[in-house]
C-alpha cells in the first residue's frame, strides 16, 4: 500500500479525505481536485477498516468509474477495489434493478431501451392513437416523458397535474399524458426499461419495498457522488433514501459547472444539501492544479458575469502560460483547416501526441469540418458521442437478435428482426400478430409460438415457425454455455446476416460488414476479459447486453490508450482534462445557442458551459470562430460570441497566424487569419509521417473490385503478432499486397494493406480475414 497518499494533498483536501463519518460536502471550482479527493477518500476509508462492499460511488461516466477503481487500486496495491460499487447512476441502478426486477413485475433480464428504441415505441403508440407524428414529434414527446420521470411523476400524476396539463394545452398537445400512459404500459409489457426508468423504477423500488430499502441502506454505509451539481430530482431522492440510515454521504460539486438544468438538474441540490443534513461538514477547495494562470483567469472572469453563484476564489500556483489564442476564420471549413494545421504544428513544435488534443464544440453537427481536415492531414481522431457505433442500423439489427434471445417479451425488437433478413413475414402478418396479442392479452412472441392455433397458414406459418425455432435454438445455446460470443457467432451464421452483408460489394455494404465484424470482435473481447464480479455470470448474453446498453456518449469508443485527437461536445467533456484544447464555433446563436438566450437562466447556463469548456485545458487554449458557416442548409453570417467580449484582452493573443504547416498540406491562402509569421517555412517543413486513422468515421473507401485471386496452394495464415509495416502478404481473396500500418491490441489487430489488384488500400481485421506473409 502506498503510504504517502495523504502527503500528496493540500490541507483542505486532506481534511475532506480524512472525514470518515457524517455528511460531507465539497464545493469547489474546476480542477481543484474534487474527483481526486473522492478517489483518495475511498482508499482512505478502506485503509481505516471500512469494507469495500459497503461503499457506493456514483460518477458521471463509466470511464470515470473505471479510472476511479484504478486509482484506488494504485493507492491500495490490492484487488480490493473490485468489490466497490463504483459506476454511473444508470449502471449501478441497472445492476440493482436486475437483482430486484421481479418485485416490480419485470424479468431480471429486462431490456434497456436507448432513445432510439423509445422513440420507435412512441411512434407505434402515435399510430395506435391516430395522432399525427408531425405535430406530436416523437422526439418532443420522449422529452416530456423523460422530464416527467426525472421529476418522479407517474402517468396518472402527469394526467392530473394542473400545471403540466396547462402547458401541454398551450402547446396544443393535450394527449401527451395519454401517450405517456400507453408508453409505460407497453414498455412494461415488453419487459423493457428506458434510461429514465433506471432511475424512476429504482426510486419506486426503494419507496415501496421497505425490506429492499433496508437491505441497501445497510449495504451502502458510505455513499459518494461526483458532479453533484448535475443530479436531477430522481437521483436526489434516491440518494436521500439510501443515505437516510447512516448519513455518511459525501458529495462533490461545482455550481459553476451545472450544465444539465434542461434535464431537471438544478444547483438547488447543492444549496439544499446543508439543509437536508444538519451536521454537514463543508469543505472548500480553492487551489486549481490543472491550468495555467492565463487559462484560469479567463475562466474566472467570464463566470464572474453570472449572478447567483456560490462565491469562490480559485487560484493556481501553475505558471502564467501562454496567452489564449483567439482566431477568426472566414468559414467553418477554414476553421477546420486551422485546427488541423495547428495540431500538426503543435505536434512538431511542442512534441505533443495526438491524444493531447481535444476539440470541443457546442453541438455534434459541428464535427464535420474538423473531421474532414484531420482526415486530409492523416491525423487519427475519435469522435465521442454523435452517431455512435451502437446506433448504426446494422449493429442495432444484430443486437436486436441478441436482445430477443435474452428477453422474448420485447416486442419492439422482435418486430425489428422478424423479417430481417427477408423471410416472407410481411406487414399484415405483423399487424395481425399485434391484434391477437392485444385481444388475448398475450405477448407478441407467445402468439408467434402458437401461430397455427391463431390461424396462420401456408408459407406465412412456415416462415413464422422457422423464425421461432431459430430463436429457440439460440436460447437453448445461451442457456447451456453462458457465452455471449458463441451465441453471437451462431446468430451471424444461422440468420444469414453476415453472408448477406459480405455479398453486398458496395462501399456501404463493405462498411456494414466491417462494423459487424467489429461488433463480433468486441463481444469476443468481452468474453475473454477477466471477470470482475463473481456475483454475476459475466460472460453471459444478459450481462453483455446490460453492459453495452449503458455505454454513455463519453464512453463510446473508450479506447483510452490509442493515440487519437478527441472530438466531443462540451457536455461530454465534463470532468476531463487535456493539455491542448480547441474551443470552436464561438459565435452568437451557436454558442450561446439561439435557443438559450431568451432568459437570464438560459444564458447563464450557456456561460457555465463555456466555463466548463475553458477549464478543460491544462497548458494551451485556442478559441476559434468563423465569419460564416452553413447551418441548416443556408450560409449564415455570424457575430462573434458575446462570451469573447467577456474575456479580458490582456490574456488574449489575437495575432496567432495559424499552423505553420498549413500550406504544406494545401491549406487555403485567403484564410483571413493574417500573414504567416511562424517558424516553419513551407520548404523546410518536414512532412509529418502519415498515420493510419482509426476514427469512427473512416475516409470513404474505394469500392471493392472483385478479384479472381486463387490463393496459393500452401496458403497458411501467419500469426498477426509477427506482422509489421513493409511486409508483403497474401490475402485469400484480395491477393498480394503490402502492409502500410498495423494497429489495435492482440485480439483486435488491424492491418492496413495496399492490394494493387483489389482496389488499393484496405483495413483487414486479422481475427477474421487471415494473411500469409510471402
- Chain Cα centroid distance, residue 703: 31
CA 495 to each of CA 418, 500, 524: distance values in angstroms, whole numbers, following the listed order: 11, 9, 19
Q: How far is the CB of 356 from ligand ATP (least distance, A)?
A: 14
Q: Which CB sits closer to ligand ATP, 9 or 771?
A: 9
336 is in an annotated binding site: no
- How many residues at the interface with Mg ion, by CB under 5 A? 3
Write out 488-518 in H/E/C secondary structure: HHHHHHHCCHHHHHHHCCCHHHHHHHHHHHH
- Asked whether the beta carbons of 400 and 413 are under 8 A apart, the reply is yes
Tell me which residue of 183, 185, 59, 201 sits closest to 121, measured CA to CA.
183
Instruction: By CB under 6 A, name the one of 17, 23, 24, 32 that touches ligand ATP.
Output: 32
- Asked whether the beta carbons of 320 and 292 are under 8 A apart, the reply is yes
185 included as an active-site residue? no
Residue 575 near Mg ion by CB under 5 A? yes
575 is in an annotated binding site: no
Q: How far is the CB of 31 from Mg ion (least distance, A)?
A: 8
Write out 24-72 in H/E/C secondary structure: EEEEECCCCCHHHHHHHHHHHHHHCCCCHHHEEEEECCHHHHHHHHHHH
Instruction: By CB under 6 A, name the one of 34, 149, 524, 642 that touches ligand ATP.
Output: 34
Enumerate residues 279-298 that contact ligand ATP by CB under 6 A. Answer: 289-290
543 included as an active-site residue? no
Mode of pairing for the β-strands spanning 24-28 and 735-743? unpaired
Q: Which residue in this structure is represented by grid cell 496452394?
A: 713
> Residue of minimal CB distance from ligand ATP?
33
The grid coordinates of residue 229 equal 451539481
The grid coordinates of residue 191 equal 419487459
The whole-angstrom separation of Cα 498 and Cα 768 is: 12
Residue 590 binding: pick among ligand ATP, Mg ion, none (C-beta 5-8 Å cut-off by kind): none
CA 98 to each of CA 95, 190, 216, 387, 746: distance values in angstroms, whole numbers, following the listed order: 5, 15, 14, 28, 33
Q: How far is the CB of 566 from ligand ATP (least distance, A)?
A: 15
- Catalytic residue (one of 109, 117, 197, 226): 226
Residue 408 near Mg ion by CB under 5 A? no
- Catalytic residue (one of 13, 35, 231, 287): 35
Rg for the chain (alpha carbons), in Å? 28
DSSP string, 593-621: BGGG-SSHHHHHHHHHHHHHHHTTEEEEE
Q: Which CB sits closer to Mg ion, 68 or 327?
A: 68
Q: Which CB sits closer to ligand ATP, 35 or 388?
A: 35
- Catalytic residue (one of 144, 337, 616, 762): 616
Collapse the DSSP code of 622 into the 3-class scheme (helix H, G, I; strand E, B; otherwise coil) and give the result.
strand
Collapse the DSSP code of 295 into the 3-class scheme (helix H, G, I; strand E, B; otherwise coil) and give the result.
helix
The whole-angstrom separation of Cα 547 and Cα 90 is: 11
226 included as an active-site residue? yes
626: left (phi over 0), alpha (psi -120 to 50) or beta: beta
- Indicate if the alpha-carbon torsion angle 55, 59, 62, 66 is positive or negative: negative
Q: Which CB sits closer to Mg ion, 516 or 573?
A: 573
- Catalytic residue (one of 14, 34, 149, 524): 34
The whole-angstrom separation of Cα 503 and Cα 492 is: 14
Q: Which CB sits closer to ligand ATP, 285 or 510?
A: 285
- Catalytic residue (one of 257, 342, 693, 696): 257
Residue 667 binding: pick among Mg ion, ligand ATP, none (C-beta 5-8 Å cut-off by kind): none
Q: Which CB sits closer to Mg ion, 63 or 642?
A: 63
Residue 8 binding: pick among ligand ATP, Mg ion, none (C-beta 5-8 Å cut-off by kind): ligand ATP
22 is in an annotated binding site: no
Q: Pick the stretch among 5-13, 134-142, 413-421, 602-610 that binds ligand ATP (CB under 6 A).
A: 5-13
Q: How far is the CB of 27 from ligand ATP (least distance, A)?
A: 10
Enumerate residues 570-629 that contact ligand ATP by CB under 6 A. Answer: 575, 577
Residue 329 binding: pick among Mg ion, ligand ATP, none (C-beta 5-8 Å cut-off by kind): none
33 is in an annotated binding site: yes
The grid coordinates of residue 518 equal 467489429
Q: Which CB sits closer to ligand ATP, 548 or 573?
A: 573
Q: Which CB sits closer to Mg ion, 14 or 616?
A: 616
Residue 30 near ligand ATP by CB under 6 A? yes
Q: How far is the CB of 605 from ligand ATP (least distance, A)?
A: 16
Q: Pick the stretch among 24-32, 385-393, 469-477, 650-658 that binds ligand ATP (CB under 6 A).
A: 24-32
The whole-angstrom separation of Cα 22 and Cα 597 is: 41
Residue 730 binding: pick among Mg ion, ligand ATP, none (C-beta 5-8 Å cut-off by kind): none
The whole-angstrom separation of Cα 516 and Cα 522 is: 10
The grid coordinates of residue 99 equal 437483482
- Contact pattern from residue 12 through residue 41 relative to Mg ion, giving x for each residue in contact according to CB under 5 A and a dash for the rest: ----------------------xx------
32 is in an annotated binding site: yes
Mode of pairing for the β-strands spanning 565-569 and 617-631? unpaired
Q: How far is the CB of 134 from ligand ATP (least distance, A)?
A: 41
Q: Which CB sits closer to ligand ATP, 301 or 577?
A: 577
Bridge partners (DSSP) listed for residue 331: 628
The DSSP letter of residue 481 is H
Q: Pick the stretch among 31-39, 134-142, 306-314, 374-382 that binds ligand ATP (CB under 6 A).
A: 31-39
CA 650 to each of CA 313, 584, 607, 642: distance values in angstroms, whole numbers, following the listed order: 20, 21, 20, 17
257 included as an active-site residue? yes
29 is in an annotated binding site: yes
Collapse the DSSP code of 707 into the 3-class scheme (helix H, G, I; strand E, B; otherwise coil) and give the result.
coil
Q: Pick the stretch among 8-16, 105-113, 527-535, 651-659 that binds ligand ATP (CB under 6 A).
A: 8-16
Instruction: By CB under 6 A, name the one of 12, 33, 321, 386 that touches ligand ATP.
Output: 33
Q: Pick the stretch among 29-37, 172-180, 438-446, 513-521 that binds ligand ATP (CB under 6 A).
A: 29-37
Q: Which residue in this structure is represented by grid cell 416490480?
A: 104
Residue 131 binding: pick among ligand ATP, Mg ion, none (C-beta 5-8 Å cut-off by kind): none
Mode of pairing for the β-strands spanning 735-743 and 728-731? antiparallel
- Contact pattern from residue 246 through residue 285 relative to ligand ATP, giving x for each residue in contact according to CB under 6 A and a dash for the rest: --------x--x----------------------------
Q: Which CB sits closer to ligand ATP, 35 or 619?
A: 35
Q: Which CB sits closer to ligand ATP, 257 or 413?
A: 257
Q: How far is the CB of 580 from ligand ATP (least distance, A)?
A: 15
The grid coordinates of residue 765 equal 481485421
Residue 300 near Mg ion by CB under 5 A? no
Q: How far is the CB of 599 from ligand ATP (least distance, A)?
A: 26
Bridge partners (DSSP) listed for residue 284: 27
433 is in an annotated binding site: no
* Cis peptide bond N-terminal to 421, omega within 30: yes
Mode of pairing for the β-strands spanning 249-253 and 24-28? parallel
Q: Pick the stretch among 34-42, 346-354, 477-485, 527-535 that binds ligand ATP (CB under 6 A).
A: 34-42
- Asked whether the beta carbons of 686 and 348 are under 8 A apart, the reply is yes
Number of residues that this document lists for the chain:
774
18 is in an annotated binding site: no
Mode of pairing for the β-strands spanning 565-569 and 381-383? parallel
Residue 243 near ligand ATP by CB under 6 A? no
Residue 9 near ligand ATP by CB under 6 A? yes
* Cis peptide bond N-terminal to 592, omega within 30: yes
Count CB atoms within 10 A of the CB of residue 382: 21
Residues making contact with ligand ATP (CB under 6 A): 8-10, 13, 28, 30-36, 254, 257, 289-290, 575, 577
Residues in touch with Mg ion (CB under 5 A): 34-35, 575
Q: Point out the annotated binding site for ATP.
A: 28-35
Active site residues: 34-35, 226-227, 257, 616
Binding region: 28-35
Amino acid at each position: 500500500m502506498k503510504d504517502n497518499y495523504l502527503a500528496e494533498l493540500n490541507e483542505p483536501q486532506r481534511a475532506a479525505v480524512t472525514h470518515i463519518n457524517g455528511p460531507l460536502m465539497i464545493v469547489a471550482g474546476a480542477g481543484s481536485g474534487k474527483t481526486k479527493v473522492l478517489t483518495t477518500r475511498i482508499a482512505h476509508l478502506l485503509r481505516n477498516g471500512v469494507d469495500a462492499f459497503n461503499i457506493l460511488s456514483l460518477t458521471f461516466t463509466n470511464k470515470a468509474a473505471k479510472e476511479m477503481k484504478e486509482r484506488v487500486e494504485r493507492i491500495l496495491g490490492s484487488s480490493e477495489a473490485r468489490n466497490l460499487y463504483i459506476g454511473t447512476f444508470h449502471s449501478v441502478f441497472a445492476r440493482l434493478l436486475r437483482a430486484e426486477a421481479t418485485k416490480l413485475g419485470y424479468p431480471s433480464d429486462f431490456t434497456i431501451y436507448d432513445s432510439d428504441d423509445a422513440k420507435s415505441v412512441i411512434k407505434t403508440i402515435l399510430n395506435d392513437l391516430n395522432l399525427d407524428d408531425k405535430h406530436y414529434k416523437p422526439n418532443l414527446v420522449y422529452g416530456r416523458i423523460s422530464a416527467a420521470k426525472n421529476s418522479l411523476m407517474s402517468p396518472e400524476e402527469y394526467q392530473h397535474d394542473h400545471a403540466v396539463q396547462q402547458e401541454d394545452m398551450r402547446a396544443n398537445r393535450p394527449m401527451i399524458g395519454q401517450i405517456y400512459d400507453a408508453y409505460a404500459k407497453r414498455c412494461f409489457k415488453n419487459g423493457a426499461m428506458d434510461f429514465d426508468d433506471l432511475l424512476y423504477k429504482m426510486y419506486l423500488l426503494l419507496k415501496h419495498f421497505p425490506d429492499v430499502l433496508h437491505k441497501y441502506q445497510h449495504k451502502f454505509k458510505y455513499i459518494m457522488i461526483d458532479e453533484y451539481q448535475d443530479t436531477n430530482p430522481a437521483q436526489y431522492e434516491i440518494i436521500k433514501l439510501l443515505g437516510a440510515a447512516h448519513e455518511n454521504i459525501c458529495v462533490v460539486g461545482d455550481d459553476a459547472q451545472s450544465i444539465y438544468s434542461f434535464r431537471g438538474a438544478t444547483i438547488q441540490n447543492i444549496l439544499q444539501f446543508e439543509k437536508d443534513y444538519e451536521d454537514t461538514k463543508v469543505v472548500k477547495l480553492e487551489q486549481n492544479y490543472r491550468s495555467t494562470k492565463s487559462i484560469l483567469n479567463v475562466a474566472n472572469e467570464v463566470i464572474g458575469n453570472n449572478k447567483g453563484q456560490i462565491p469562490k476564489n480559485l487560484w493556481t500556483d501553475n505558471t502564467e502560460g501562454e496567452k489564449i489564442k483567439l482566431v477568426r476564420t472566414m468559414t467553418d471549413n477554414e476553421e477546420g483547416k486551422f485546427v488541423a494545421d495547428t495540431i500538426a504544428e503543435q505536434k512538431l513544435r511542442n512534441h505533443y501526441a495526438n491524444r493531447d488534443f481535444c476539440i470541443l464544440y457546442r453541438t455534434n453537427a459541428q464535427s464535420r469540418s474538423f473531421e474532414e481536415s484531420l482526415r486530409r492531414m492523416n491525423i487519427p481522431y475519435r469522435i465521442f458521442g454523435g452517431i455512435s457505433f451502437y446506433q448504426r442500423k446494422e449493429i442495432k439489427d444484430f443486437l436486436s437478435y441478441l436482445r430477443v434471445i435474452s428477453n422474448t417479451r420485447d416486442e419492439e425488437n422482435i418486430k425489428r428482426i422478424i423479417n430481417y433478413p427477408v423471410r416472407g413475414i410481411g406487414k399484415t402478418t405483423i399487424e395481425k400478430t399485434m391484434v391477437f396479442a392485444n385481444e388475448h392479452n398475450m405477448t407478441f412472441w407467445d402468439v408467434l409460438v402458437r401461430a397455427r392455433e391463431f390461424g396462420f397458414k401456408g408459407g406465412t406459418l412456415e416462415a413464422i415457425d422457422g423464425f421461432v425455432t431459430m430463436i429457440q435454438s439460440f436460447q437453448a445455446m445461451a442457456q447451456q454455455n453462458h457465452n455471449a460470443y458463441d451465441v453471437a457467432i451462431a446468430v451471424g451464421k444461422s440468420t444469414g446476416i453476415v453472408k448477406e452483408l459480405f455479398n453486398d460489394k458496395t462501399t456501404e455494404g463493405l462498411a456494414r460488414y466491417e462494423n459487424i465484424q467489429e461488433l463480433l470482435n468486441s463481444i469476443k473481447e468481452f468474453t475473454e476479459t477477466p471477470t470482475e464480479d463473481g456475483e454475476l455470470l459475466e460472460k453471459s448474453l444478459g450481462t453483455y447486453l446490460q453492459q453495452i446498453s449503458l455505454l454513455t456518449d463519453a464512453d463510446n469508443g473508450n479506447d483510452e490508450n490509442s493515440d487519437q485527437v478527441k472530438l466531443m461536445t462540451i457536455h461530454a467533456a465534463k470532468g476531463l482534462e487535456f493539455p491542448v484544447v480547441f474551443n470552436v464555433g464561438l459565435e452568437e446563436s451557436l454558442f450561446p445557442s439561439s435557443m438559450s438566450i431568451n432568459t437570464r437562466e438560459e444564458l447563464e447556463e450557456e456561460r457555465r458551459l463555456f466555463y466548463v469548456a475553458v477549464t478543460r485545458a491544462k497548458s494551451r487554449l485556442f478559441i476559434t470562430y468563423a465569419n460564416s458557416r452553413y447551418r441548416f442548409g443556408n450560409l449564415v453570417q455570424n457575430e462573434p460570441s458575446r462570451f469573447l467580449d467577456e474575456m479580458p484582452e490582456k490574456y488574449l493573443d489575437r495575432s496567432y497566424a495559424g499552423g505553420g504547416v498549413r500550406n504544406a498540406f494545401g491549406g487555403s491562402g485567403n484564410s483571413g487569419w493574417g500573414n504567416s509569421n511562424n517558424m516553419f517555412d513551407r520548404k523546410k517543413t518536414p512532412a509529418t509521417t502519415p498515420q493510419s486513422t482509426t476514427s469512427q468515421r473512416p475516409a470513404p473507401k474505394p469500392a471493392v473490385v472483385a478479384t479472381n485471386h486463387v490463393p496459393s496452394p500452401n496458403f497458411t495464415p501467419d500469426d498477426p503478432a509477427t506482422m509489421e509495416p513493409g511486409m508483403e502478404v497474401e490475402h485469400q481473396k484480395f491477393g498480394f499486397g503490402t502492409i502500410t500500418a498495423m494497429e489495435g491490441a492482440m485480439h483486435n489487430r488491424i492491418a492496413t494493406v495496399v492490394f494493387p489488384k483489389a482496389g488499393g488500400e484496405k483495413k483487414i481485421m486479422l481475427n477474421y480475414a487471415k494473411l500469409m506473409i510471402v
